[in-house]
Structures are given as structure tokens and as C-alpha cells.
């Protein structure tokens, strides 16, 4: 894609239009705008974009227990295997177009809005990166800079560059929509975005739906993140006076900060990244404008919807310029305009079971205005005041987003009408007017009204909804400090654990709750919180114990009753579960979730009518709950009420077009949809999503039919790297066998088939998998695959002892299962087990899993804990069979250990002539190289060779031709925390006088 021509066209059109818009009173709209608005086009297509090549993901399950501070990714794979090569790749596109805009969405790259072309000037509102160039930025690794990214329930979410659910739809009013969304595998929560163009409207409307599909509460936030290409003269137009740092660490002024830098001008971002949150402003819009193209983009969302705003820029210091190279092939720059629910990106909320959130946003192009004074979905306004002696003149520039025949422009002094003009407005042109010879009052009010005087936009000069300056305290902000743990009260334990839970540190949070209960065993709040988290972690026995205590002491607590009912149902105590769930449904917050669980219990008892009644009762109060809709359709069909099922199907297809279970219900009712099977085949977990929906209602025939389907494997199937095909995914076969047993048949053959399938990239975490895998090992205690997967399931629910027990059985039966010894070794290390046992397991792993780098990294870590010398540990790392093709993590660690052993030449040799993918917040090749040279300087200083040590420190940022990433000055790498410590050590050993 070549943008130079388009920009030239944009400039020439803008120049031409500027001649026409001096006065619009006698100008008629373009011929096309006199015609009736055409229905919006929406269609699927493909496009070819140069794209980074990617190797297979990390085969190791990224258990939370091994990552105390995150990121937390299990049961997803880690995608770190990046290749520095772009090749043309065909991507599916979803396209939507009206008279003014043409937008493209990439459903196989997380649903990113790739581009949205303003057809009036042929400029894209968003950053249409001409190549998809991956870097390690997202939670799982791979991330690309382009267009709009949707972040839920975490930033750069797990599916940000993966195939997701999507649909297109049309309405009778001529509008059309693209839908993208996903139900995540970590928490079972759904985000769904509807992107709509309407006839005659010059904006893209974005409606977002957040929905906790699961039975338990989970942490979340939402941030819409739009990349916008910029140039040095691009201006960031946020109506705010103050900004806050991440974590609300400080407050600073805007646009000129406390250092005297005007951060609203992109070219001034020379001092590192700019990452600031709006503070003290309730204004609903933000914008970026480019004199380069005389165009810009406005984002609008009511503060009732998305009150938080953020600006992000990589900056243009050396590190920022490196990121331009890392993320693009044309060294283009972009900023991110971001809108969110909470004040910053360290703040999470909790979404309760069956809770939903809904909000709207608008993306509005504007042109030839020079900036923005006020904007909303009807218009974008720029006002400029100039002094004329004792009088003033007011220059008005206005873009409207729809045709407004006989609109009324009013200028007021308070309520007094000063000037008025009738004018026909339309999006293709920019209205300009100079109101001259005005009295020099402090502020005039501009109003745009329709022909019948309906107010569309109003702005008073200098008037914005800001917190008064005298209520804002600049500088460092106070933060809450917990007392020392020895002084913790029950509330401190509760607050500390809740904070860790909101940060996704679930094992740590559970430990903190339990530590609190050791000291305050009768705390109702701690028992309730611990039990609630134990239900989410599928530790139902512990959950029952804690929740029963809490409910005994506070019998009117519906939340406790709800979670206790879940635990009892999971443990097979359905009578008690019904009693507690029936009580819980009396509370509004737990009415729908409790009724749906009760409906599942009734359906499993084959009381289908009663189950349907409970679902309908839930829907009467909450008609938007898609999980209830799935149940309603399946139960109606099971009862043979085809007419009612088809009527409700139409409703649910309109409500959630991306839902695969609803789409499958349509197939069950006779609709042909071959694309659905291809979509399900793209990820076996999608099939399990559907199957478990049916299994939860006891509809095992439906589940078995899904699990027995012959899914396509051809080019129509789109999957992310490493995803096994459906016929090679053992969990599908295990679930199939379980369903047969539930139907009174034998599932032994399915279990036997599953046990022979590879376990690569199979990371179980569903509660239903406990029932399935326990049944498999009951039928065949010698099924090493089932024991291995059950061990993974136990560790995913923070039960390391049970995990090790299952893995030990798998090891006795089938020790060659990939990642087995790695999993066991790290579990022992992280649970405080014997280090020598971990060493033995990792050594065994080098035999059975010889190309798994974490076996070697784990062995070196265990040996270090055991006090083994550096040279011995380096030999272990260097014994990896493919050091030439080894990933960065192994190379970086090996260089560190070699440096510790004083083997600097060998260490430097390792980093020569290699490609190291750039990782945000991680080490670069330059960092490793600089630290290596400084460690060598420390070694020289230790031997009192201070002259050589001084020369090495002075030349540490000189480029090394053989080490990629150091071919230019690498000053940022000399300012890392580790390099500063090393330089300080040299200075301590060799004072300046000795050098």
C-alpha cells in the first residue's frame, strides 16, 4: 500500500475545497449529495499485506504459579517465536462503506479496525501500517501496531492478533454493521463490538458489549486503543488542563508540562515515551490533527460511558526511533488515543456473573479546520478569536456529519443573539465564516441548530468542564501503604488479597486470604472472599468449608449463598445447592445467575419444562443475557417447540451475531452454515465451548454430535500458529468418551484413542475437564496422557500437590510426554520442594524433551539455588542441542552465566549475528551487550586494572558491527538499572583518580 499518492491527493483536494468554502450561502451541495442516501455496503473479502513470519509458540504451559507478577496467560500459549522476515500474506477482511467512509476490519488479527478511509480527502483516520510487523508487546508476546485495538479484560488482550468471532449484519434503515468479539479462555468473559455505518452519516459508530458469561466474578477493564499515524507537526487535542501518570503516581499540567515541554505537539516527544491519562476533565471528546494532511480524527464518548482518556506516544528519542523500526518497515510514527472505563491501566474492576456493560463511541473524521474547539457526533467546530483594535473577530470552521439543509448558525453573548445565519451544510464541504466587528466581551457562544431550531452543537469560548485548578494538587500523589504484615488486621488481609485478585495474582491472593484466616478464623468477610475465589479456582471442598462458615454467621448474605450453591452443585450435593441458589436469586445481583444454575440442575434431572421456566424468568428481568438465550433455544428445541425456537432464534441472532452456539442452534433448526464448521475447526476450544454448554444441561446427545463431527482441515480453516487440528486434540476425544458414558454407552474406545494423541499445546482449565479426565483414569488407570492432563488441570487451579501426584503417575507410565519433567521441576521449585529433586527432574527432561529450552533454564536455576558454580551452570545451558537457533531467552541467560564465570569472549560470541525480537519492558540485544561489557569492566576493576576498566566504561555505547541492535549508538542501554549498578561498582573499585 502506497500512501504518498493519497496524501498528495488529499492536499490537492483540500486546496481546491478551501477556495470554495469562504462563504457557503450561495453554494449548493455536490450533485451526489442531492441523491437519496444509498444503503450501506458490507461484505467479506481478502487483502494481501506483508506480514512477519512466526514460528511455533512456546510448547510449555504458562502456569500462573510460575509467574508471580504476571503476565498471566494460562491456558493460552506464549507466542514469542518471531522471525525477522516479512512475506506477503492473505488476510480475511470485513469491509463496510457508505457515502463518506470505507472501513476495513481484520478478524484474524483480533478484530482490529485496520483502516477507515475518509472518502472526501482519501486519508485514513487510523494507522494503516503497510506491513504487519510483530513485536513482543502483548500479554502473550505477538503484537502489531495498526488501527483500533480492543482491550478486554486486560491490555493487549490474549487474542489481539488471533482469529476471533465475527459477523456482518444489515438493518432495514439501510445501516450495516461489522461485529467482532471473543469469549476468553482464562475467565470465560465476552467482549463484543458492533461497528456501524449509517446512510448519510460521516462517522463510524462503535457499540461495545461486555458480558461475564461465567458463573463467577472476574477482574476486567476496557480500553479502546486507536493508533493514528502522526508527523512532527501533528497536534494532540485533548480538552484537559492536567494529566496523571500510571498508577496515579503524579499529576502534571497540560499541554505544557512541568518541564516546560508542550506535549500536544508530537515533535516535542524527545524525552522518552509519553503515557498520560486525562485528569480533572469531563469533556467527551479528544482528537489528533495533522497539518501534514489537513485532516484529523475525533473520538467522542459520553463521560457516562467512557470517562477515562489516555495519550500514548513512543517518542522520538533513540529508543522511540528503535520502536518505529521494530513496528514498521517504513519507520512511520503513530500515537494512540485511548478511552477506558477506569482512571488508569493499573485499575481493574470486577464483573459479576451474568453482569453486562454497554457503551458507545464515535470516530469522526474532520478536515481543513486547523484544530478542534468542540466536537460531537453531529459536528466538529474550530473557533479562532482575533483582536481588531477595540473589537474582535471570530473565525468559525465547521464540519458536519450529515446534510443539514437550512441549518441555523447563531452567535450569542450569553442568551443575547448577536449574529445569525441560515445556511445549508453537508459533510463534503467545510463551512467557514468570519464574524467581524464584534464587541470585545470575554466569550461568545456558538450554536449550530437544525432548520427547526433543534440544538446540535454549542460551544462557549474557553468554557470546558474542568475541575477547578485550585482543587488540583500537582506533583507526586499520596498512595495507600499497607502496614507490615505482622500488624495486619482482618481488613488489611482482605484489602491486600483483593488487590492481588484484581491484578490477576490468584494463587497469591488465595494465600493471603488463607493467611488472614489463620489469624482471624471467624472473619465473615475473609471466609466469604476466600470461598468465592476457591470456587473460581475450582477448589470446591475448601470453598464449601469457608462459605458455610460465612453463611452460618450471616445467614442473609445472598452472595455467600450463591457461591456456596455453586460449590455444592460441583460436589454433587444438589439438594443443598438448590436451597442456597433459591435463596441467592432473591438478590438482584444474583437473580439471573442463580436461576440459570438452577435451570441447569433441573435440565440435568430431565425436568426440561421446569428448566425452561427458570430461564424465561431470568430473561424477563435480563433480556440481554446470551447465555440464557443459548439455554432457551436448546430447551425449546429439546421440547419440540420448533416454531417458538425459530422465533426466539431470530431475536438472539440479532442480539449476539458472533455467538457460535446460537449459530449452531440455527443449524440444528435447518439453516445451512458451512462456514460455522470451518470456524469451529479453527480452534478445538470453540467446540468445547459449545459442547460444555449442552453438557451443563444434561444434553449429552447434542454435545456428542458436536464432538463426533468431521471438521474441515483445508484452506477455509483459519487458526493461530500451534493450534492442533481437531482430529489431533485429545480433549475432544476424552469429552466424546465421557458423553457416551453419560448416555449409558461405552466410551472406552474414545478414551483409548485420546490417550494416543499428542498433548502439544493442550492446556486444560475447564471445570468440566475434571469430570472428564477423572472418568478417563477411572476407566484406565494406566492412561498416562489423562494423568498428565489432569495434573495440568490441578496446577491451573492452584493445587500443586495433586498436580505432582498425577504427573508422577504419568511419568511412571509415559515419561516421554513433552513438558512433563519441566512442569514437575518448576512446580517443585516454586512450591518450596527439594532442589535436588528438581535438578533430577530437569536432567531427565534433557533426555526426553531435549529441545525444550525451559528444561535447561530450569536446570540452571535449580543448580544456582543449590550453589553450583557458574561455569558448571553455563555448560548445562550450552548443552542445548541447537544453540545456533536458540531463542533469545536462552541466549540472554547463557551470556549472563558465562559473564558470571568470567567467560566474556564466549558470551560475546553468543550474541553475534543474531536476530533478537524487540520486547516492550524486556531486554534488548543492546542491553545484553552493554551489561556484558560492563561486567567485563567490573572484572578488570576487581583485578585493579582500572585504566582498562575506565576505557571499557567510556566506550560501552560504541557500536559493535557483529551484534544486531548495536550498530548505532545505544545510549538507552547504558541507562538501564542493571547497567547503572555495574557502572557504580566500577566507580567503587576504581575511583576516577585511578582511571
DSSP 256: B
**CB 785, CB 777: distance < 8 Å:** no
Cα distance between residue 688 and residue 681, in whole Å: 11
DSSP element (H, E) containing 660 = helix 660-668
Instruction: Give the per-residue pLDDT at 17.
Output: 27
Instruction: Give the per-residue pLDDT at 977.
Output: 85
Instruction: Give the per-residue pLDDT at 966.
Output: 63
Which of left, alpha, beta for 260 (phi over 0: left; psi -120 to 50: alpha)? Answer: left
Instruction: Give the per-residue pLDDT at 969.
Output: 54
Cα distance between residue 953 and residue 938, in whole Å: 9
Residue 323, preceding bond cis, omega within 30 degrees? no
DSSP element (H, E) containing 90 = strand 82-97
Mean pLDDT per 10-residue interval, the chain, length 995 residues: 32 28 32 61 98 96 93 96 93 98 99 98 98 96 98 97 98 98 98 99 99 98 99 98 98 98 98 97 98 97 97 94 94 98 97 98 98 99 95 97 98 96 97 96 97 97 97 96 94 98 98 98 98 98 98 98 99 98 98 99 98 99 98 98 98 98 97 96 98 99 98 96 98 99 98 99 98 99 99 98 99 98 98 97 98 98 97 97 92 93 90 80 80 89 90 84 65 80 91 69
Q: Quick one: cell of 611?
A: 428448566
- CA dihedral 831→836→837→842, nearest 10 degrees, is 100
Instruction: Give the per-residue pLDDT at 991.
Output: 86
**CB 54, CB 138: distance < 8 Å:** no
Give the side-chain half-sphere CA count within 13 A for 105. 30
Instruction: Give the per-residue pLDDT at 266.
Output: 98
pTM above 0.95, yes or no: no
Q: What is the pLDDT of residues 8-24, one digit of tens each?
A: 333 332 332 232 233 33
Strand order in the sheet with 295-300: 165-170, 176-183, 189-197, 204-212, 356-367, 295-300, 285-290, 235-237
Helix H, strand E, coil C: the string for 604-639 is HCCCHHHHHHHHHHHHHHCCCCHHHHHHHHHHHHHC
Q: What is the pLDDT of residues 341-388, one digit of tens each?
A: 999 999 999 999 999 999 999 999 999 999 999 999 999 999 999 998
Task: Scan for cell 470485513, then name that residue.
Answer: 94
- Read off φ and ψ for residue 973, nearest 5 degrees: -70, -20
Cα distance between residue 445 and residue 813, in whole Å: 81
311 closest CA partner among 207, 206, 240 = 240
Task: Scan for cell 470456524, then name that residue.
Answer: 679
Distances (CA, A) of 711 to 694, 701, 731, 734, 759: 19, 18, 15, 17, 19
Cα distance between residue 339 and residue 345, in whole Å: 11
**CB 634, CB 699: distance < 8 Å:** yes
Instruction: Give the per-residue pLDDT at 955.
Output: 86
Task: Scan for cell 458423553, then name that residue.
Answer: 739
Q: Quick one: cell of 231?
A: 508527523
Instruction: Give the per-residue pLDDT at 624.
Output: 97
- Residue-range domains of the chain with CATH: 1-36+374-460 (2.60.40.1930), 37-367 (2.70.98.10), 490-580 (1.25.40.10), 902-994 (no CATH)
Amino acid at each position: 500500500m502506497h500512501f504518498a499518492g493519497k496524501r498528495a491527493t488529499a492536499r490537492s483536494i483540500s486546496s481546491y475545497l478551501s477556495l470554495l468554502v469562504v462563504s457557503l450561502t450561495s453554494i449548493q451541495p455536490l450533485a451526489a449529495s442531492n441523491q437519496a442516501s444509498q444503503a450501506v455496503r458490507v461484505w467479506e473479502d481478502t487483502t494481501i499485506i506483508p506480514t512477519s513470519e512466526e514460528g511455533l509458540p512456546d510448547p510449555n504451559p504458562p502456569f500462573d504459579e510460575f509467574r508471580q507478577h504476571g503476565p498471566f496467560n494460562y491456558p493460552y500459549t506464549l507466542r514469542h517465536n518471531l522471525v525477522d522476515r516479512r512475506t506477503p500474506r492473505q488476510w480475511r477482511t470485513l469491509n463496510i462503506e457508505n457515502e463518506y467512509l470505507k472501513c476495513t476490519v481484520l478478524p484474524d488479527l483480533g478484530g482490529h479496525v485496520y483502516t477507515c478511509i475518509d472518502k472526501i480527502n482519501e486519508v485514513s483516520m487510523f494507522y494503516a501500517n503497510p506491513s504487519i510487523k510483530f513485536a513482543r508487546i502483548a500479554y502473550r508476546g505477538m503484537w502489531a501496531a495498526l488501527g483500533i485495538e480492543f482491550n478486554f479484560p486486560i491490555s493487549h488482550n490474549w487474542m489481539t492478533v488471533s482469529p476471533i468471532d465475527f459477523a456482518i449484519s444489515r438493518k432495514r434503515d439501510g445501516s450495516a454493521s461489522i461485529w467482532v468479539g471473543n469469549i476468553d479462555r482464562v475467565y470465560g468473559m465476552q467482549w463484543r463490538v458492533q461497528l456501524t455505518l449509517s446512510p448519510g452519516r460521516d462517522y463510524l459508530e462503535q457499540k461495545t458489549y461486555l458480558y461475564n458469561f461465567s458463573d463467577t466474578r472476574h477482574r476486567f477493564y476496557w480500553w479502546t486503543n486507536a493508533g493514528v499515524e502522526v508527523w512532527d507537526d501533528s497536534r494532540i487535542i485533548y480538552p484537559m488542563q492536567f494529566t496523571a501518570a500510571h498508577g496515579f503516581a503524579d499529576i502534571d499540567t497540560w499541554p505544557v508540562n512541568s518541564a516546560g515541554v508542550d506535549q500536544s505537539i508530537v515533535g516535542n516527544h524527545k524525552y522518552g515515551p509519553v503515557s498520560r491519562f486525562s485528569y480533572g476533565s469531563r469533556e467527551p471528546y479528544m482528537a489528533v490533527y495533522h497539518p501534514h494532511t489537513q485532516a484529523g480524527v475525533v473520538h467522542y464518548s459520553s463521560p457516562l460511558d467512557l470517562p477515562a482518556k489516555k495519550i500514548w506516544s513512543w517518542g522520538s528519542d533513540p529508543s522511540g526511533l528503535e520502536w518505529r523500526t521494530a513496528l514498521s518497515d517504513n519507520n512511520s510514527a503513530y500515537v494512540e488515543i485511548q478511552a477506558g472505563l477506569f482512571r488508569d491501566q493499573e485499575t481493574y474492576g470486577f464483573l459479576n456473573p451474568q453482569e453486562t456493560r454497554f457503551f458507545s463511541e464515535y470516530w469522526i473524521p474532520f478536515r481543513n479546520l486547523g484544530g478542534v474547539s468542540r466536537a460531537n457526533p453531529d459536528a466538529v467546530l474550530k473557533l479562532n478569536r482575533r483582536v481588531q483594535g477595540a473589537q474582535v473577530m471570530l473565525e468559525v470552521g465547521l464540519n458536519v456529519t450529515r446534510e443539514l439543509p437550512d441549518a441555523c448558525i447563531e452567535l450569542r453573548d450569553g442568551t443575547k443573539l448577536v449574529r445569525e445565519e441560515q445556511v445549508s451544510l453537508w459533510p463534503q464541504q467545510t463551512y467557514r465564516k468570519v464574524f467581524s466587528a464584534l464587541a470585545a466581551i470575554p466569550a461568545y457562544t456558538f450554536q449550530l441548530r437544525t432548520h427547526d431550531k433543534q440544538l446540535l452543537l454549542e460551544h462557549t469560548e474557553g468554557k470546558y468542564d474542568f475541575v477547578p485548578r485550585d482543587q488540583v494538587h500537582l506533583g507526586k500523589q499520596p498512595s495507600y501503604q499497607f502496614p507490615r504484615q505482622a500488624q495486619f488486621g482482618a481488613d488489611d488481609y482482605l484489602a491486600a488479597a483483593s488487590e492481588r485478585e484484581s491484578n490477576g495474582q490468584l494463587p497469591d491472593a488465595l494465600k493471603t486470604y488463607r493467611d488472614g484466616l489463620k489469624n482471624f478464623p471467624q472473619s465473615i468477610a475473609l471466609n466469604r472472599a476466600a470461598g468465592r475465589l476457591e470456587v473460581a479456582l475450582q477448589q470446591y471442598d475448601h470453598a464449601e468449608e469457608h462459605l458455610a462458615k460465612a453463611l452460618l454467621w450471616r445467614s442473609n448474605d445472598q452472595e455467600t449463598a450463591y457461591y456456596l450453591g455453586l460449590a455444592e452443585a460441583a460436589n454433587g450435593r444438589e439438594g443443598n445447592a438448590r436451597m442456597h441458589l433459591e435463596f441467592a436469586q432473591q438478590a438482584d445481583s444474583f437473580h439471573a445467575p442463580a436461576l440459570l444454575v438452577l435451570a441447569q440442575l433441573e435440565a440435568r434431572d430431565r425436568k426440561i419444562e421446569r428448566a425452561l421456566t427458570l430461564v424465561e424468568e431470568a430473561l424477563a428481568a435480563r433480556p440481554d443475557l446470551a447465555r440464557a438465550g443459548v439455554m432457551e433455544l436448546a430447551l425449546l428445541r429439546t421440547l419440540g417447540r420448533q416454531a417458538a425456537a425459530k422465533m426466539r432464534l431470530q431475536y438472539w441472532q440479532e442480539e449476539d451475531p458472533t455467538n457460535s452456539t446460537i449459530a449452531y442452534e440455527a443449524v440444528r433448526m435447518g439453516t445451512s452454515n458451512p462456514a460455522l464448521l470451518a470456524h469451529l475447526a479453527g480452534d478445538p476450544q470453540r467446540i468445547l465451548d459449545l459442547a460444555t454448554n449442552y453438557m451443563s444441561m444434561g444434553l449429552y446427545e447434542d454435545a456428542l454430535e458436536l464432538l463426533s463431527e468431521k471438521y474441515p482441515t483445508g484452506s477455509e480453516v483459519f487458526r493461530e500458529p500451534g493450534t492442533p487440528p481437531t482430529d489431533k486434540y485429545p480433549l475432544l476425544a476424552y469429552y466424546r468418551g465421557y458423553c457416551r458414558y453419560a448416555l449409558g454407552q461405552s466410551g472406552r474406545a474414545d478414551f483409548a484413542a485420546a490417550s494416543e494423541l499428542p498433548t502439544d499445546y493442550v492446556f486444560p482449565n475447564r471445570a468440566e475437564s475434571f469430570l472428564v479426565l477423572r472418568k478417563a483414569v477411572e476407566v484406565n488407570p494406566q492412561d498416562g496422557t489423562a494423568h498428565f492432563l489432569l495434573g495440568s488441570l490441578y496446577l491451573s487451579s492452584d493445587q500443586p500437590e495433586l498436580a505432582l501426584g498425577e504427573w508422577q503417575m504419568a511419568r511412571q507410565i509415559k515419561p516421554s510426554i513433552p513438558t512433563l519433567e519441566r512442569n514437575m521441576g518448576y512446580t517443585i521449585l516454586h512450591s518450596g520442594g527439594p532442589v535436588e529433586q528438581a535438578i533430577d527432574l530437569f536432567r531427565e527432561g534433557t533426555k526426553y524433551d531435549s529441545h525444550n529450552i525451559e528444561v535447561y533454564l530450569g536446570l540452571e536455576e535449580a543448580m544456582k539455588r543449590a550453589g553450583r558454580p557458574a561455569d558448571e551452570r553455563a555448560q548445562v545451558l550450552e548443552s542445548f542441542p541447537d544453540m545456533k537457533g536458540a531463542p533469545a531467552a536462552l541466549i540472554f541467560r547463557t551470556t549472563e552465566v558465562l559473564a558470571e564465570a568470567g567467560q566474556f569472549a564466549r558470551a560475546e560470541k553468543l550474541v553475534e549475528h543474531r536476530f533478537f525480537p524487540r520486547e516492550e519492558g524486556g531486554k534488548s540485544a543492546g542491553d545484553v551487550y552493554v551489561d556484558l561489557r560492563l561486567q567485563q569492566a567490573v572484572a578488570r576493576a576487581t583485578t585493579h586494572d582500572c585504566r582498562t576498566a575506565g576505557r571499557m566504561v567510556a566506550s560501552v555505547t560504541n557500536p559493535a558491527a557483529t551484534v544486531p541492535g548495536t550498530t548505532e549508538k545505544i545510549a538507552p542501554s547504558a541507562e538501564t538499572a542493571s547497567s547503572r549498578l555495574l557502572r557504580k561498582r566500577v566507580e567503587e573499585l576504581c575511583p576516577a583518580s585511578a582511571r
